[in-house]
Amino acid sequence: MLRKPTASQELLASAINTADHPSGANVAKTVDSVSNIMMGQDWPPKPQDAAVADSLEAGSGYQQGKEERRQPTWAAAVQRRLPPWCEARPCRAAILVVLLIKLLAVLLVATGPELLKGARNALRLVYYSSDPMLFGRNDVAFPAPHCCVGAACAQPHTGRVAVLTYIRSDNYLPLLKHLECSFRRSNPGVELGVMSAPGELGAATKEWLEHRNLTLIEVQPLYYPNYHTPRYGQNWLKLRALSLMQYDAVLLIDSDTVVLGDVRPVFSLPVEFAAVWDQNKWLGRYNTRLPGGINGGVLLLRPCPAMLLHMVELLDTQPKLRFSHGAAEQDFFTWYYRYTGMMLPVEYNTMASDSLAGNLTIGGRPPVVVHFTQHKPFGGAVPGRPGHNFLCSAEEMQLR
């Protein structure tokens, strides 16, 4: 004759079956029930009236005779999966941990990359915020040379300014074509140039740059490995823009952008550095918290070779400033200019997937620069993707 399983065994068997086939409601209900068992409570509560108990047992399928020898499915599950010692609390705790892991798996499937991105950024924040040195550079602890200060930065010297981007291979030419097309429409007469390291661009790409009257500037590579996102290691080339003394100012923008408005006003700002704060959504909502740092997609720089040498010296002697587990040069610029730079309005670096609300920014203004941090338009515009309506048409692109 089979021994009737206890209520604890019945529930633990149900918990295991639910873990094999998780659904949000069942997992949550089972976790609550297992928690009651761990607190020493049985579930459901045992009837106090013996007559009621006898009645429940009589109707539960445990009659005498042949039906006694037929083993219910849940009983087989208990005998197959739960050893006798699993009535102990450590075993119950282990089951609860398994269920919680399953519940987290359901949440990961539901929220996916956004949740993982948030967790990764949280770990990065903890790692770097634990070091007071990384709060921001000041001229007492890390004195830096300055080629201009305040209003002197807005005074012309060479009379030449430029918008520069950078590409490290021919694969980025499709993005550059969209950038060039939009820039010619919005900023006629403003110089547009491309930075690259020697040998990185092929003859066809160089020929296209010459045909479209883009200035090609070859600079020496600068690289530090990055473990957060390996391709970020290539972004250190941006620092080389500080060596371009032929310009009074440079607006350095990523190649995965389009320029829709006039950028010339930023060249007259009385600062040596300016950028837009970083933006991102959290679980589909706009992140309106105070900014933690800048985004490296649009940077106003005043060329200053002495400052470049100072930066490289810091990076060589202070490895943590390379932000190898963070956003590389973006986090470094945040640290270096935290107390001396200027924050630009969000329309100067509007992240298409994070800061566009229709055709306006989350601030309700028309964007000047749209930045495709996601859904990069390598293959042209894709209907429905954020910001792709601002790209040049297929007819315009054929002319390039």
Residue 84: C-alpha distances to residues 5, 7, 20, 112, 175 (Å): 11, 14, 21, 39, 64
pTM more than 0.95 = no
CB 13 within 8 A of CB 91: no
Task: Please list the residues that pair with 162 across neighbouring strands.
Answer: 250
54 Cβ contact partners less than 8 Å away, ≥ 6 residues apart: none
pLDDT of residue 110: 60
Q: Is the pLDDT of residue 47 over 50?
A: no
**What mean pLDDT value characterizes the chain?**
81
Least confident of 20-29, 247-256, 389-398: 20-29
Q: Average pLDDT for residues 19-42, to the nearest whole number?
A: 47
Joined together, the tokens standing for residue 12 give 């633990």
pLDDT of residue 396: 86
Residues counted in the chain? 400
Q: What is the pLDDT of residues 246-293, one digit of tens each?
A: 999 999 999 999 999 999 999 999 999 999 999 876 655 555 454 579
* Helix, strand and coil percent figures for the chain, each rounded to 5: 50, 15, 40
327 closest CA partner among 234, 253, 222 = 234
136 Cβ contact partners less than 8 Å away, ≥ 6 residues apart: 334, 335, 338, 339
Give the residue with greater pLDDT, 192 vs 24: 192
pLDDT of residue 290: 47
Give the residue with greater pLDDT, 190 vs 53: 190
**Omega cis (within 30) before 45:** no
Q: Report which residue type is found at 363.
A: G
Q: What is the pLDDT of residues 118-146, one digit of tens each?
A: 666 666 767 787 788 888 999 999 999 99
Q: Are strands 257-259 and 369-371 parallel, antiparallel or unpaired?
A: antiparallel
Q: Is the pLDDT of residue 242 over 70?
A: yes
Q: What is the pLDDT of residues 283-340, one digit of tens each?
A: 555 554 545 799 999 999 999 999 999 999 999 999 999 999 999 999 999 999 999 9
pLDDT of residue 31: 44
Question: Up-side HSE of residue 397: CA atoms within 13 Å toward CB?
Answer: 16
Q: What is the pLDDT of residues 69-113, one digit of tens each?
A: 454 554 454 444 555 555 556 676 777 777 788 777 776 666 666
A 10 A CB-CB count for 191 gives 15
What residue spans of the chain are helical by DSSP H?
A: 7-20, 24-38, 50-58, 66-69, 73-81, 89-111, 113-129, 173-186, 203-211, 305-317, 329-337, 352-355, 394-398
What does the alpha-carbon distance between residue 371 and residue 260 come to, in Å, rounded to a whole number?
11
pLDDT of residue 7: 52
Burial class (CB in 10 A: 0-12, 13-18, 19+), 17: middle
A 10 A CB-CB count for 387 gives 25
